[in-house]
A and B are shown apart, each in its own frame.
Chain A
Amino acid sequence: MNVLAWLTAAGAGWFWVRALWPRTEGGRLWARLTAELALSFMFGVGACSAAFFALLWSGLKPGAAAWSGDAAVLAGGVVLWLIRRGRKGGEEAEGAARPLPLAWMAGLAAALSFVAFLAAAGVYLRANPQGDWDAWAIWNLRAKFLASEGLWRNAVSPELSQTHPEYPLLWPAAVARAWAESGSVSQAAPQTGAWLAAASLVLLFAGGLATTGGWPWAAAGTATLLMTVPLWRSAGSQYADVPLAMFFLGSVIAAEMARRTGWSGPVAALSGALAAFGAFTKNEGLVFCLLMAGAVLFMARLRAVWWLVGAGPALAVTLLFHWLLAPPKSLLSMASFQQAGRLVTVVEGMAGAVWKSGGFPAHPLLFAAILLAVFRPEKPWKPVWPAAVAGLMLCADIAVMWGSPNDAAWQVGTAADRLLMHVMPVLILCAFWWLAKAPEQAAAVEPPAKPEPRRKPRKASGAKE
């Protein structure tokens, strides 16, 4: 059950995703299924864990909270799916994808890299069932508190001053839920969660790219993503960083899908929910959630209310957690902001992390730049908003490290690569969305490629980029 609990969460999430995700008729069915599979895991784990924590807080015992939360998420998903299963209409195609020469090579590289990635995560998790430092010092430790009857509040005890009791609790709740349902505390639960989160992140990236670029660009993008060294390091760490990157990516893909469908309410709500799960995973997620809300509000205007509806429940739990449960902790200090040297240290550290985010010559940003230079996607590059959100997120990360009361060198040295990993999938995805979009003259340049079935474009209802 330590393993099965993750799959049951994904099963409950599947109904929600099936009901909210736009339907395609024919075409890239496999791409939609891949994205749906990954999103089901993300949404299911996020929703079941948030529900588990809310019920635990309301007074239920861990086992009852876990099963009741699952039942509520499953029942809600089934009802929504039954209501919406007969709907018509699907995603708007953004035009044909640009043909990619030697796509089979990219496909082979992506497939083998993905297998190696999953195998490496498995090997690491097997050798280190306890995970890396923060896994047993923070994340899984707090999961143990949550899974213990009558003692879950120890997870936010100010006595645990060394263990960040102020951190949000979605990922510990996800692990604790698996333990509560299995009735035993086994490392198999966090191990499985970490492995599935890493797999879901890559699968969603591929699926999200394939819906517009077809399998050739999905393969090239996935091969590039898997050059990201911090992703390999984090996959088996059992930290909350990979799940956070997963929620970031899921929220961006769903919001972009909503934009293409004229700000379809259900898929915008899905984006909001995933962003809110990120907010309850780490504090960086709360900043990302605010940035996403701003971006969606700017683009969708009144239709952004759907995004807020989706974000509402998990965001409410997050805010209540911070206001009522989390012990107060000063994250920023004015004295730190007054030291310009700290900013220099942080920027240098982040630049170093960018440099080290690949192992040369296998560097994701280098290859994204090479492909952009070679294929020269037509300007204006669209969509640009995900890159803007990711860029602002990095600026916020830098500002927080600058203003942190901790030693700047230590702060950036321990966090920079993980902070970069949170947004790297979004940045790479954005670059490949630009690359995959076929220019008018591309068809004349490239050899004829297997035509992808085109869907009739639907007019966006007043939405703007």
Chain B
Amino acid sequence: MSQGREKPVLWHAKAAVAALAAVALYGALIQFGVTEQFAALYPDPYQVMGLQERLSRALGRVPPQERVVFFSDVPFEEVAGQAAFFAVQYAFAPRIVLLEKAPQARQARFWLGVFSRQDNFMQIGADRGLLMEQDLGGYVVLYRKPEARP
């Protein structure tokens, strides 16, 4: 490398490192800000922890080996319906939660309804041949088949 090129190369190198440091720090601050803002605005956006706490009251009534059938007035095709299903599955684990349309659902003794609004929950259960076991609040209801013993 010729002597004539040395100074510009060193200058370029210093500029590149200075730019890297400044931009990296800027990027880190932006990312921290975005993360903090998102966390503040949307803590637990799908209410997983809230549902887990609500369902914890029902866990003692459903043996761990049981299958629990999930149904809702929000279709599973919608994100909210999927979120409710997976959140219930997480809260009820190690019990397996099934969708109402699953072939094994008929044999399940315990059913859980998660609704988006107030309704006649007892009637909704009766339409499926279920007895209302416990209203867990927040439009969440535990049902059981008539022959099931808690």
A binding-site residues for B, Cβ under 8 Å = 100-103, 105-106, 108-110, 112-113, 116-117, 119-121, 123-124, 126-130, 133, 136-137, 140-141, 144-145, 148, 151, 154, 157, 159-160, 162-163, 187, 220, 223-224, 226-227, 229, 232, 236, 358-359, 361-362, 367, 370-371, 374-375, 441, 444-447
Shortest distance from the beta carbon of A116 to any chain B beta carbon, whole Å:
4
Shortest distance from the beta carbon of B96 to any chain A beta carbon, whole Å:
5
Is A232 a contact of B20 with CB atoms below 8 Å?
A: no
Q: A102-B14, A224-B20, A226-B27 are in contact. List 18 more A-B contacts (CB 8 A).
A: A101-B13, A102-B17, A102-B21, A106-B17, A116-B28, A120-B31, A137-B90, A144-B93, A145-B94, A151-B64, A151-B65, A160-B89, A163-B86, A226-B24, A226-B28, A362-B23, A367-B24, A374-B9
Task: Tell me, yes or no, whether B16 is within 8 Å of chain A by CB.
Answer: yes
Of chain B, the residue at the smallest CB distance from A185 is B93
Q: Please, which residues of chain B bring their CB within 8 A of the CB of A123?
A: 32, 35-36, 39
Indicate which residue in B19, B87, B94, B99 contacts A144 across the interface (CB closer than 8 Å): B94
Q: How many positions in chain B have a CB within 8 Å of any CB in the partner chain?
A: 52
Is B23 a contact of A367 with CB atoms below 8 Å?
A: yes
Q: Please, which residues of chain B bring their CB within 8 A of the CB of A141?
A: 86, 89-90, 93
Is A441 a contact of B1 with CB atoms below 8 Å?
A: yes
Of chain A, the residue at the smallest CB distance from B40 is A127
**A129 CA to B49 CA, complexed, in Å:** 8
Is B24 a contact of A223 with CB atoms below 8 Å?
A: yes
**A148 CA to B13 CA, complexed, in Å:** 57
Is A444 a contact of B16 with CB atoms below 8 Å?
A: no
Q: Please, which residues of chain B bring their CB within 8 A of the CB of A367?
A: 19-20, 23-24
**A100 CA to B14 CA, complexed, in Å:** 8
Is A236 a contact of B24 with CB atoms below 8 Å?
A: no
**A220 CA to B10 CA, complexed, in Å:** 16
Assuming the contacts A102-B17, A106-B17, A151-B64, asked whether A119 and B39 have C-beta atoms less than 8 A apart, the reply is no
Shortest distance from the beta carbon of A324 to any chain B beta carbon, whole Å:
20
Q: List 14 A-B contacts (CB under 8 A).
A: A100-B13, A101-B13, A105-B21, A109-B28, A116-B29, A123-B36, A129-B44, A130-B52, A151-B65, A159-B102, A160-B89, A227-B27, A358-B27, A370-B20
Is B14 a contact of A101 with CB atoms below 8 Å?
A: yes
Q: Please, which residues of chain B bring their CB within 8 A of the CB of A110?
A: 24
Task: Tell me, yes or no, whether B61 is within 8 Å of chain A by CB.
Answer: no
Q: Please, which residues of chain A bring their CB within 8 A of the CB of B93?
A: 141, 144-145, 148, 154
Is A136 a contact of B90 with CB atoms below 8 Å?
A: yes
Q: Please, which residues of chain A bring their CB within 8 A of the CB of B32?
A: 116-117, 119-120, 123
Is B35 a contact of A101 with CB atoms below 8 Å?
A: no
The 8 closest A-B pairs by CB, nearest first: A362-B27, A127-B39, A148-B94, A113-B28, A223-B24, A109-B21, A144-B93, A105-B21
Q: Give chain B interface residues in 85-106, CB to chain A under 8 Å.
A: 85-87, 89-90, 93-94, 96, 98-99, 102, 104
Assuming the contacts A124-B39, A127-B44, A154-B94, asked whether A370 and B16 have C-beta atoms less than 8 A apart, the reply is yes
Is B64 a contact of A148 with CB atoms below 8 Å?
A: yes
Assuming the contacts A101-B17, A371-B16, asked whether A113 and B85 have C-beta atoms less than 8 A apart, the reply is no
Is A105 a contact of B27 with CB atoms below 8 Å?
A: no
Shortest distance from the beta carbon of A240 to any chain B beta carbon, whole Å:
16
Q: Please, which residues of chain B bring their CB within 8 A of the CB of A127?
A: 39-40, 43-44
Q: Please, which residues of chain A bring their CB within 8 A of the CB of B23?
A: 227, 361-362, 367
Is B39 a contact of A374 with CB atoms below 8 Å?
A: no
**A106 CA to B6 CA, complexed, in Å:** 22
Is A444 a contact of B19 with CB atoms below 8 Å?
A: no
**A357 CA to B89 CA, complexed, in Å:** 33
Is B25 a contact of A113 with CB atoms below 8 Å?
A: yes
Q: Please, which residues of chain A bring their CB within 8 A of the CB of B39?
A: 123-124, 126-128
Q: Give chain B interface residues in 42-98, CB to chain A under 8 Å.
A: 43-44, 46, 48-49, 52, 64-65, 67, 82-83, 85-87, 89-90, 93-94, 96, 98
Q: Please, which residues of chain A bring their CB within 8 A of the CB of B46?
A: 133
Indicate which residue in A136, A236, A370 contacts B86 across the interface (CB closer than 8 Å): A136
Q: Please, which residues of chain B bring their CB within 8 A of the CB of A361?
A: 23, 26-27
Indicate which residue in B31, B40, B43, B87 contacts A232 across the interface (CB closer than 8 Å): B31
Is B18 a contact of A105 with CB atoms below 8 Å?
A: yes
Of chain B, the residue at the smallest CB distance from A371 is B16
Is B87 a contact of A136 with CB atoms below 8 Å?
A: yes
Q: Please, which residues of chain A bring their CB within 8 A of the CB of B126?
A: none
**A40 CA to B93 CA, complexed, in Å:** 31
**A374 CA to B12 CA, complexed, in Å:** 6
Of chain B, the residue at the smallest CB distance from A361 is B23
**A333 CA to B32 CA, complexed, in Å:** 41
Task: Tell me, yes or no, whether B148 is within 8 Å of chain A by CB.
Answer: no
Task: Tell me, yes or no, whether B122 is within 8 Å of chain A by CB.
Answer: no
Q: Please, which residues of chain B bring their CB within 8 A of the CB of A148?
A: 64, 93-94
Shortest distance from the beta carbon of A293 to any chain B beta carbon, whole Å:
35
Is A159 a contact of B104 with CB atoms below 8 Å?
A: yes
**A445 CA to B2 CA, complexed, in Å:** 9
**Max chain A C-beta neighbours (<10 A), residue from B9, B17, B67:** B17
